[in-house]
Structure 1
């Protein structure tokens, strides 16, 4: 059973599955997160949806690059969670199945390609506090706990 975070399921909505992949990218005591300005401003782990016909790892590399401008290597699966939410950019209710990976940031190739995204290096403990998604916070806290333990 995959752990659920976030809003309660609404009985009056039909949800469509949306697979997503997200990365914890740590360097020293900092992690690379993104700030997305719209549709609502929020701090997130970099990542996003897996396109039809795309492998999850290919999607992870693409999404990290698009949202941060960084390349990454050696992704290892940390776990997965689900959340039920409205996605205004797609005008749909989604059951998001989110898989979280721990990966090594390799090199900044340029600025984020995705409009409205800003890449930020933040002390890991601060990132656990400011990430807007409860599932992101949970897996980041687990990842930094492992790094320190």
Structure 2
């Protein structure tokens, strides 16, 4: 069973299952995140939906490049969660299955390719408080705790 974050699904509402991949992209004590400006500004882990026939790792590389402009290397899956939400850009209610990876940001190729996104570096601790959904915040906090232990140890 995959841990659920956020609101409980509404009885009688049809949800479309949407598998997606999302990345923790650490450099020093910071994480590379994306700010999606529409429908309102929201800080997010870079990532998104897995296209039909696409592998999760291929989708991760594509989504991170689209939303941050960065190439990544050495992705490693660190967990998963699900959440039930309305997706206004698709006009649908979704059960999002979120596969979380950590990867190394290699280099920027330019600005994000996806309109309405801005790449930002913020501390892992701030990300754990500021990301727009509870699942993203959970994994950012877990990353921040591990980083603090590594520095202290």
Which SS does the other structure have where 1:4 is aligned?
coil
1:1-149 equivalences in 2 (<5 Å): 1-149=1-149
Residue-by-residue CA offset, 1:6-61 (whole Å, 9 max, x unaligned): 11110131001000100000000111011001123200000000001111000000
In structure 2, runs of 5+ residues without a counterpart are: none
TM-score, scaled relative to structure 2: 0.95
Q: C-alpha root-mean-square deviation of aligned residues, in Å?
A: 0.8
The answer on whether the counterparts of 1:26 and 1:103 sit within 8 Å (CA) in structure 2 is yes
> C-alpha distance in 2, partners of 1:62/1:55?
11
Task: Figure out how many residues of one structure are paired with residues of the other and give that number.
Answer: 149
Where do 5+ consecutive residues of structure 1 fail to align?
Answer: none
Counterpart Cα distance in 2 of 1:148 and 1:105: 20
TM-score by structure 1 length?
0.97
* Moved beyond 6 Å, runs of 4+: none
